[in-house]
Structures are given as C-alpha cells and as structure tokens.
Amino acid sequence: MLKALDLMGVSAKDAISFGDRVIDIEASNAAGIESVACFWGTKEKGELLHSGYSHAIVKPNEILTLIR
C-alpha cells in the first residue's frame, strides 16, 4: 500500500482504504491509512467487527456519503 501511495505521490493521511476482510483493515491500519470495513457480502462479519476499522459501511451507496 505504501509503495502504491508513494508512486502516486499521495501520503497515507490523505488516503482511504476499503476492505471486506480483516487483513484489509490490518494492512490499512499498519500503513496509517484510514480504513473502511465493508460489511455487505463478507464472510468475515464477526471478525471484521473487531478489526479496528476507522469507519464501517453496510451498503455500497454509503461510500458516496463517506467520501463527500
């Protein structure tokens, strides 16, 4: 993640990451990137609840509300 941000010239504090797995949230948090847990369709709902995400959404259309 950090390499991709570096290539794009974006700092971690200016990025946001969306994921439906615990590993997605952990990677975002380790990189200092704001993390969003996406709860639709995931098979890891229980684990995801305790993953330390910054935000949570349950429907795809909530992405627009979050990033505005």
Q: How confident is the model at residue 67 (pLDDT cuts 50, 70, 90)?
A: confident
Query: What whole-number distance in Å separates Cα of residue 44 and Cα of residue 41?
Result: 9
pLDDT at 10: 97
28, burial (CB in 10 Å: exposed 0-12, middle 13-18, buried 19+)? buried
Task: Name the domain count of the chain.
Answer: 1
Q: Residue 19 belongs to what domain range?
A: 2-67
pLDDT at 50: 96
Q: Has residue 68 got a pLDDT over 90?
A: no
Three-state secondary-structure class, residue 60:
coil
Query: What whole-number distance in Å separates Cα of residue 49 and Cα of residue 19?
Result: 12
pLDDT in tens, 9-56: 999 999 999 999 999 999 999 999 999 999 999 999 999 999 999 999
CATH of the domain at 48: 3.40.50.1000
For residues 53 and 36, the answer to whether their CB atoms sit within 8 Å is yes
